Chains A and B, each alone.
Chain A
Amino acid sequence: MKYLFPVYGATNGTATSGTVPLSSHFTVSSVNYISIPQGIKAKIWSVRISGAAVNFQIQFTQNVNTSTPTWVTVENISLASAGEVAIDKSRKPTVLEGKNGNEAIQIVWAQSTAAVSYIILDIEFTDEDD
């Protein structure tokens, strides 16, 4: 199985930091994190951000099912001023593996001035060897 899907979200425009609610074309409602099922590799193929100045961090945890998960920043993407940044990883994606079903990805933001910024990632879930 290889399934490529977009995950998108935005800052709320009223807070200077927070966790991005994430959606996709198949979601009923947004989620605060994307769990990675056991045996699945989550490959992040691309990241695009746009809108107001912002810093987004893609974070990973190995214990999402605990009351206080430990989140580690995998990647920082920033807009110094209003605009757009696109990062294409088509040569080598960021791969995060679900080893026991407790792994997850979240995105947090920080801004000096609260404003709306957008993020979209192309993520592939696969259970196949490369």
Chain B
Amino acid sequence: MYKEELYLVVDIPPEKSAYVFRIDTIWNPTYRLINYGPLPIQANQPLKSFTGTSVTAPANGALAPMSYIEGIEFPLQNVYNLSDMWDVPSSFLANRLFVVEQTVTPEFLRVNAYIPINTVQASFQGNKLPLKISDLWGWKRGKFVMTHFPDILVGYNYANDTSFPVYTSVIFKYWEYVVSIPSDPAIIFNILAGFIPEKIVRRIAYPIVTLAPDLKNQLQRLYGFFGFPLPSIERRAEYERKYAEILASPLVRESYLARAGGIR
């Protein structure tokens, strides 16, 4: 089976934790690029406007000047969820996840994501000031990295804060990982503490500031826990004990991932 890095770490910032996965294989070792094409926007579809005026899409796949759209999913024929190509069912693909690097053009377009689909996931001063795609910050331009977990719908948001009416286009570079969770708490500690060489660990932050109830419930069903607590490196024994307790807990042993053979 083909591998690059041996481990994948997905940080869950609001929980001060991280999922540590062993990469069993990469399903697409060679073919990484999906030239998806225009954003799924229909001509004359209503858009939101920075200026408060009503505005519609000037063409298929196009954004009007000073407009934005929220909650975009990516339809594709002949996949599990026809309205969202990145959504797979956790009931039998729990040991699979996608890491997706997205480039939207023109690259000056703003992009961010709501997870699950209607939950704003950027804020300032804790949760005091939620940041949406129409705000001054709380988004990126052109490129976005996302981890897609099974059965968690992600809504992408795009904004055009220029005077151009623009045709959009999206290219995805993706990794379809088949994963399991390491059974050795010492390995988990060493990875999270940075004692394992970086070249065999891919580490990504899940772009969230809050674990919304729907998201929490799905992660619970999927893995049975919300990530391994980030360790204090001088307290190895304590954290390895915590990790062992997590791995032995009934919720983890009965999770979708365990049923898919991802917890041994």
Contact = CB atoms under 8 A, between A and B. Distances in A.
Interface string A16-27: 000000001011
Given A35-B162, A37-B162, A38-B161, A27 B108 contact: no
Interface stretch (B58-66, B79-87, B171-179): B58-66
A8 interface: no
A1 B141 contact: yes
B164 interface: yes
Contacts of B107: 1-3, 125
Given A1-B141, A37-B162, 5 more contacts: A1-B140, A26-B167, A26-B169, A34-B162, A125-B108
Nearest to B43: A28
Interface of A: 1-3, 5, 24, 26-29, 31, 33-35, 37-38, 40, 64, 101, 104, 125, 127
Contacts of B161: 35, 37-38, 101
A28 B108 contact: no
Interface string B56-82: 001100100100000000000000000
B125 interface: no
Nearest to A64: B163
Nearest to A40: B108
A129 B65 CA distance: 26
A interface secondary structure, majority: loop
B162 to A, nearest CB: 5
Contact of A24 (B62, B143, B164): B164
B165 interface: yes
B46 interface: no
A101 B167 CA distance: 21
B108 A1 contact: yes
23 contacts: A1-B140, A1-B143, A3-B106, A3-B107, A26-B166, A26-B167, A26-B168, A26-B169, A27-B164, A28-B62, A28-B167, A29-B165, A31-B65, A34-B163, A34-B164, A35-B161, A35-B163, A37-B161, A37-B162, A40-B108, A64-B163, A125-B107, A127-B141
Interface in B130-188: 136, 140-143, 161-169
Contacts, number: 58
Given A28-B59, A28-B167, A35-B163, A3 B108 contact: yes
B105 interface: yes
A125 B108 CA distance: 7
A29 B59 CA distance: 10
B37 to A, nearest CB: 13
B166 A27 contact: yes
B164 A26 contact: yes
Given A1-B142, A28-B58, A28-B59, A37 B167 contact: no
